[in-house]
């Protein structure tokens, strides 16, 4: 066994990590070693800094659970999540762009009818979002499931509060003509969670922790690529400094203030409400199968 020196440790470690039969792992692990070592060399990492980094990772693990995803948050603020989204979603012209999932999606939200209210007792300005789901050829996509979730008017998600039932999330299904309608309350911009190691790090910099007001979507239909995306309020603060690099011009839409009266879905509102119109455009799976 050769003695490791700072001259040959990288070659030794990359060679060792390339020995697995799993060819993809044998590609990724040596690259990880190479890049980590290059980082340590580039910044001339001290032992104290290494220990600080290890303690930071330990705290990120300790604070994480089934509702708190500190490593995803770290990936988001470092721009890694958005890089991976961009590399993996090559868009057909006209398709709705994808963006980050974020750490607050909860699976198995309740199925809701067309225009059903997903806000329940949560106070806020009523918001109706309506449009169609179609494909890049302009055909209506019937039966698409729109999984929708967002923060409350204080900027908090279900995972951040004590909730006894699903809160500000639901799954809507597009109708035969591709139409869908979501009824909820207007979201606000908010700060990413700052009470953990990611927040500690952000606080030591001038990096903005804020996200512009948005709604989250996961749109899926057999034969089409699943679409993870957001809609952002046009003119909202932080659109140009989103803490997780998630904004895209195509996803910034007017949140139109409306007088009391008729709403999408055939109802009426006694109070002023907000209208958002958006058509989600899906692209076929490359294999033509289910995404
Ligand atoms: C979110 O939009 O829910 C989110 C995304 C990334 C980090 C924190 C929050
Ligand atoms: Fe969000």
**Same structural domain for residues 118 and 215?**
yes
The percent of the chain in helix, strand and coil, each rounded to the nearest 5, is 25, 25, 50
Strands 210-211 and 190-191: antiparallel
- CATH number for 183: 2.60.130.10
**Same structural domain for residues 115 and 158?**
yes
**Same structural domain for residues 198 and 104?**
yes
Which of 226, 227, 221, 224 has the alpha carbon at shortest distance from 284?
Answer: 224
**Same structural domain for residues 150 and 21?**
no
Q: Is residue 187 part of a domain?
A: yes
**Same structural domain for residues 273 and 187?**
yes
Q: Is residue 67 part of a domain?
A: no
Residue 82 banded pLDDT, cuts 50, 70, 90? very high
**Same structural domain for residues 85 and 178?**
yes
Q: Is residue 117 part of a domain?
A: yes
Residue 176 DSSP one-character state? T
Q: Which ligand 1 atom is nearest residue 193's CA?
A: 8
**The total number of residues written for the chain in this structure:** 291
Which of 193, 157, 190, 156 has the alpha carbon at shortest distance from 77?
Answer: 193
pLDDT of residue 6: 80
Q: Ligand 1: residues within 6 Å at CB?
A: 73, 76, 100, 102-104, 192, 211, 244
Determine the residue of 72, 78, 99, 104 to mutate for testing ligand 1's pocket, defined as the one with the most ligand atoms within 8 A of the Cβ atom.
104
pTM of the prediction? 0.91
Provide the domain limits for residue 13.
8-45
pLDDT of residue 291: 46
Residue owning the nearest CA to atom 5 of ligand 1: 102
Distances in Å between the Cα of 4 and the Cα atoms of 12, 126, 209, 286 are 8, 64, 41, 47
**Same structural domain for residues 20 and 89?**
no
Q: What is the mean pLDDT of the chain?
A: 94
Q: Is residue 3 part of a domain?
A: no
- Summarize pLDDT for 13-34 with one digit per residue, the tens: 999 999 999 999 999 999 999 9
For 44, phi and psi rounded to 5 degrees?
Answer: 50, 60
pLDDT reading at 290 higher than 50: no
- Count of domains for the chain: 2
- Summarize pLDDT for 130-171 with one digit per residue, the tens: 999 999 999 999 999 999 999 998 999 998 888 888 999 999
Residue 1 banded pLDDT, cuts 50, 70, 90? low
Average pLDDT over residues 88-93: 84
Question: Across-strand partners of 217?
Answer: 148, 229
Residue 90 banded pLDDT, cuts 50, 70, 90? confident
Tell me which ligand sits closest to the C-alpha of residue 193.
Answer: 1
**Same structural domain for residues 20 and 101?**
no
Distance CA 184, CA 118 (A): 5
Q: What torsion, rounded to 10 degrees, do the Cα atoms 67, 72, 77, 78 define? A: 160
Q: Are 190 and 214 in contact (CB under 8 A)?
A: no
pLDDT reading at 280 higher than 50: yes
Determine the residue of 80, 82, 103 to mutate for testing ligand 1's pocket, defined as the one with the most ligand atoms within 8 A of the Cβ atom.
103
**Same structural domain for residues 109 and 180?**
yes
Determine the residue of 190, 210, 244 to mutate for testing ligand 1's pocket, defined as the one with the most ligand atoms within 8 A of the Cβ atom.
244
Residue owning the nearest CA to atom 1 of ligand 1: 102
Q: Is residue 261 part of a domain?
A: yes
Centroid of ligand 1 to alpha carbon of 24 (angstroms): 29
Q: Is residue 193 part of a domain?
A: yes
Average pLDDT over residues 36-62: 98
Q: Residues 6 or more apart from 52 whose CB is under 8 A from it?
A: none
Q: Is residue 20 part of a domain?
A: yes
Centroid of ligand 1 to alpha carbon of 40 (angstroms): 29
Q: Is residue 245 part of a domain?
A: yes
Strands 214-220 and 227-233: antiparallel
Residue 289 DSSP one-character state? S
Centroid of ligand 1 to alpha carbon of 34 (angstroms): 30
**Same structural domain for residues 131 and 204?**
yes
Distance CA 182, CA 166 (A): 16
**Same structural domain for residues 27 and 151?**
no
Q: Which ligand 1 atom is nearest residue 151's CA?
A: 3
**Same structural domain for residues 162 and 208?**
yes
Q: Are 213 and 187 in contact (CB under 8 A)?
A: yes
In the chain, % of residues over pLDDT 70: 98
Q: Which ligand 1 atom is nearest residue 244's CA?
A: 6
pLDDT reading at 264 higher than 80: yes
């Amino acid at each position: 066994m050769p003695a490791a020196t700072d001259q040959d440790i990288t070659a030794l470690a990359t060679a060792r990590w390339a020995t697995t039969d799993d060819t993809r792992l044998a590609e990724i692990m040596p690259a990880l070693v190479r890049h980590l070592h290059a980082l340590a060399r580039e910044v001339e990492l001290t032992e104290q800094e290494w220990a600080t980094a290890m303690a930071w990772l330990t705290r990120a693990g300790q604070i994480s659970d089934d509702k708190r995803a500190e490593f995803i948050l770290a990936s988001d603020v470092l721009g890694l999540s958005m890089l991976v989204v961009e590399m993996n979603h090559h868009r057909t012209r006209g398709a709705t762009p994808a963006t980050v999932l974020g750490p607050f999606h909860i699976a198995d939200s309740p199925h809701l009818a067309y225009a059903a209210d997903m806000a329940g007792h949560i106070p806020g300005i009523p918001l109706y979002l309506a449009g169609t789901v179609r494909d890049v050829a302009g055909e209506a996509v019937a039966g698409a499931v729109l999984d929708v979730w967002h923060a409350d008017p204080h900027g908090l998600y279900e995972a951040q509060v004590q909730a006894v039932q699903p809160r500000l999330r639901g799954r809507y299904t597009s109708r035969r003509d591709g139409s869908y309608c979501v009824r909820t309350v207007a979201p606000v911009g908010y700060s990413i969670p700052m009470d953990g190691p990611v927040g500690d790090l952000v606080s030591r910099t001038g990096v903005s922790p804020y996200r512009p007001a948005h709604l989250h979507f996961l749109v899926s239909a057999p034969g089409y690529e699943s679409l993870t995306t957001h809609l952002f309020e046009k003119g909202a603060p932080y659109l140009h400094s989103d803490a997780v690099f998630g904004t895209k011009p195509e996803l910034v839409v007017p949140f139109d203030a409306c007088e009391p009266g008729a709403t999408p879905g055939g109802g009426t509102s006694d109070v002023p409400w907000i209208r958002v119109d958006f058509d989600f455009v899906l692209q076929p799976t490359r294999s033509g199968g289910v995404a």
